[in-house]
Amino acid sequence: MGYTDQRFDVNLSILYTELPLLERPAAAAAAGFTAVELWWPWIETPTPAQDELDALKKALEDAGTQLVGLNFYAGQLPGPDRGAVSVPGEESDRFRANIEVAADFAASVGCKALNALYGNRVEGVDPAVQDELALENLVIAARAADRIGAILLIETLNKPESPLYPLVSAPSAIEVVDKVNEATGLGNAKFLLDLYHLAMNDEDLSEVIEKYAAKTGHVQIADKPGRGAPGTGELPLEDLLDQLKKAGYQGYVGLEYKAADAAASFDWLPAEARAAK
């Protein structure tokens, strides 16, 4: 058990950001990783030109890296936004325009997990109206994911850093997961269990794992405080990942932490353990 027994992937939207997008897969591969994940890379548009999509596909393939997680369009991220599914008007429209584009791209590179960030609460809009819109959009997204044999992920963020985001506890995200599955009958909506966000919310991480491992479709980690690499903070990440594995989780663990020098930040993980098994 331990770190050497996990399937890690590198989040290329938070690590290697000093490099142009198309150079990041090769950088991750040079460090020994074979799996990567991405936030939606085109924050200005939900529908990038086909040649841009093709260029990213080629960069992933040339590097020998498998994309294992992709966000749907989520607004300005990094930035003030936290998704679009529950935001009425233009942002919801942009999310819908993105659904098939993201799903088709994921299918083209064999990515089997699509993450839909819920979106912030909007001043002057009834939360119930936002939740109704979110469910409509998530049902469409779940069907698109199912069409390509993928899962739809619902993520908990943390209240200190995302004060307007309503899903700031494991149960709040699980409730949405259950509603989407009930509405579609597909069962492909899953929980994105981010140990950093949950720790920032002061949740009992062992209890969350025990309760929700079976509904978890993807895991992300960073240490707390600081959102740095494992070992830079106080979280017993190795033990928690062991617990997840014992609870039956067999998926990927995304390295979604901040580091001034990505390549130097992987010292906690032996080089021979970086290629995803």
Catalytically active residues, by annotation? 155, 256
* Phi, psi for residue 253 in degrees, rounded to 5: -120, 110
Give whole-number Cα distances, 246 to 146, 196, 228, in Å. 27, 20, 25
Distance separating alpha carbons of residues 218 and 192, to the nearest angstrom = 5
What is the C-alpha separation between 209 and 255, in angstroms, rounded? 18
How many other C-beta atoms lie within 10 A of the C-beta of residue 272? 8
Full 3-state SS string of 118-181: ECCCCCCCCHHHHHHHHHHHHHHHHHHHHHCCCEEEEECCCCCCCCCCCCCCHHHHHHHHHHHH
Quote the distance between the C-alpha of residue 154 and its chain's center: 8
Q: Do residues 205 and 196 make contact, with C-beta atoms less than 8 angstroms apart?
A: no
Q: Which of 236, 216, 206, 194 is nearest to 3 (CA)?
A: 236
